[in-house]
Amino acid sequence: MARAIEIYDTTLRDGTQAENFNISVDDKVRITHALDDLGVDYIEGGWPGSNPMSVEYFQKIKGVQLSHAKLTAFGSTRHIRNKPEDDPNLEAMLQSQTPVITIFGKSWDVHVTDALKISMEENLEIIEDTLVYLKSRVDELIYDAEHFFDGFKKNPDYALATLERAVKGGADTLVLCDTNGGTLPQELPSIIDRVEAHLAAKEVSTKLGIHSHNDSETGVANALIAIEHGINHVQGTINGFGERCGNANLTSILPALIYKMGLDCQAKDHIERLYPTSRLVNEMANLKHNRYQPYVGDSAFAHKGGIHVSAVKRNPLTYEHIEPEKVGNHRRILISDQSGRSNILHKAEKWGIKLKPDDPLLASIMGELKEKENQGYQYEAAEASFELLMRNALGVQRKFFRIDGFRVMNNKYRMDKAPLTEATIRLYVGGHEVHTASMGDGPVNALDKSLRKALTRFYPILEEMELTDYKVRVLSGEYGTEAKVRVLVESNDGKCQWRTVGVSINIIEASWQALIDSVNYKLMKEDHDNGPVS
């Protein structure tokens, strides 16, 4: 039977210390449910002694039933001036009423003398009596040996002494922390082996854990090497969020443990939830997804080169180290001038477009694609626009409306007030002429409002649709303000999202192209067989 590894998630505490990572108490509760569904063993909910939000979270989560995970409150050893029973930090943790408490203490002598400004022996005393006090009041006690690796390299005997006192205090698990993230993978084995040998000589069988940070880009590697050397408890965060450069990334650690190392964990039975859990955490923090992230990034299983695509279609193992579906992700075939016939045929099959390898229109599509990309268009992130391009080239795209013209006016009447923007559009649906105008927060918003105002009475389904993201990229700085721009628009109708692209030397024109494609894609997707209302 494979060795079982405990997974300890600290996204809700350590992860929230990341720059620009902000979530509400309700967000934390929702993420808690997702982590529990994923099969995480421990969920560190926060430090109740440090901020009111953590206190509120623990109050709200008390009535929540989790299927597997154990909630953990986090905090520090007692203050040197307080007895354990009088320490407000310890009392706040106990008030959270979690079955597990995680306490951190100092392992590095420089932190003892310079940060805490106490003696080395006093630090050992507060470690031991803090744990003794908490031991009888919780089901499980985890000790995080803060800065352990730095402390061991500076003064190994003292770092080991702190672990001994934690064991004496009743710690169920000793977690070795690379708090500054400066330890390299080749340094870990000898230190971990020394710790294990020292504890064995003392006849201590306390479980060992690893908590690594990513300041040297080795957080995941350090965690995996520690596990390879006998450690059975690993701490990290979803998507690697954390202070400075982040923590060890559980979305990379979990599949590596399961599929690469053949180890066991509760999350093994739910690992297909990894991708949606990763995206949920990003959404709750209102942060864009890192498309290049291993396993769970949108580009993790994306193929662009024609040779790659052709090989992947025959056997995905040729260019994929695992099947994307194993972690809840999916394979993507990108469209570009480099892609070749295989990519286009693959997309046609995916979209239900009948296109054979010997069809002369295939060369026409490839030629138009090359010409568009020479103009600055890119379709890797705008597949909706490419599908429309392909359908138009094949003559199978229905014409839902015809634009006769538009106008956008920006008026700055007072320098201390925002400008007023109005967009006017004239278009035809069937035999009906429509002329509309709308005010908006900027020209793109005004155009979007005016376009949908004109079309909604013919196509009510457009009311579901909204523009969710808008990006502008200057394609060349050679001509200054006369340079071309590429606009990428992301739209959503509550069921799916799609992206469209426009290119022009005029930012309004480029935006207009992307907006028109976005509306046409929605109408095509809904397949209005009955046509416009008369």
Rounded Cα–Cα distance for residues 503 and 488 (Å): 9
Is residue 43 packed enough to be buried (19+ CB in 10 Å), middle (13-18) or exposed (0-12)? buried
Is residue 73 packed enough to be buried (19+ CB in 10 Å), middle (13-18) or exposed (0-12)? buried
Q: Which stretch of DSSP H or E encloses residue 168? A: helix 156-169
Q: Taking a C-beta distance cutoff of 8 angstroms, is the pair 319, 312 a contact?
A: yes
Residue 236, beta-bridge partner list: 9
Task: Report CA torsion sign: 183, 187, 188, 194.
Answer: negative
Q: What is the pLDDT of residue 312?
A: 72
Q: What is the pLDDT of residue 528?
A: 38
Q: What is the pLDDT of residue 534?
A: 28
Q: What is the pLDDT of residue 482?
A: 60
Q: Where are the beta strands (DSSP E) in 430-509?
A: 432-440, 466-474, 485-492, 497-504
Structure tokens belonging to residue 70: 């154990």
Q: What is the pLDDT of residue 365?
A: 83
Buried b (16+ CB within 10 A) or exposed e, 449-464: bbbbbbbeebbeebee
Eight-state DSSP code of residue 108: S
Among residues 364, 307, 373, 316, the alpha carbon closest in space to that of 340 is found at: 307
Phi then psi dihedrals of residue 45, to 5 deg: -80, -20
Rounded Cα–Cα distance for residues 395 and 397 (Å): 6
Residue corresponding to tokens 């995916």: 350
Q: What is the pLDDT of residue 530?
A: 42
Q: What is the pLDDT of residue 352?
A: 81
Rounded Cα–Cα distance for residues 524 and 397 (Å): 8
Sorted by where each starts, the structural domains of the chain and their CATH numbers stand as 6-284 (3.20.20.70), 302-394 (no CATH), 402-526 (3.30.160.270)
- Three-state SS sequence of 50-89: CCHHHHHHHHHHCCCCCCCCEEEEEEECCCCCCCHHHCHH
Contacts of residue 258, Cβ cutoff 8 Å, sequence gap at least 6: 264, 265, 267, 268, 271
Q: What is the pLDDT of residue 340?
A: 60
Q: What is the pLDDT of residue 364?
A: 81
Rounded Cα–Cα distance for residues 320 and 331 (Å): 9
Contacts of residue 262, Cβ cutoff 8 Å, sequence gap at least 6: 2
Residue 266 CA: distances (Å) to CA of 39, 120, 142, 240:
5, 40, 19, 20
Structure tokens belonging to residue 440: 């908006």
Among residues 66, 77, 25, 27, the alpha carbon closest in space to that of 43 is found at: 66
Point out the residues of the chain with pLDDT beneath 70.
305-307, 309, 313, 335-343, 380, 476-482, 527-534
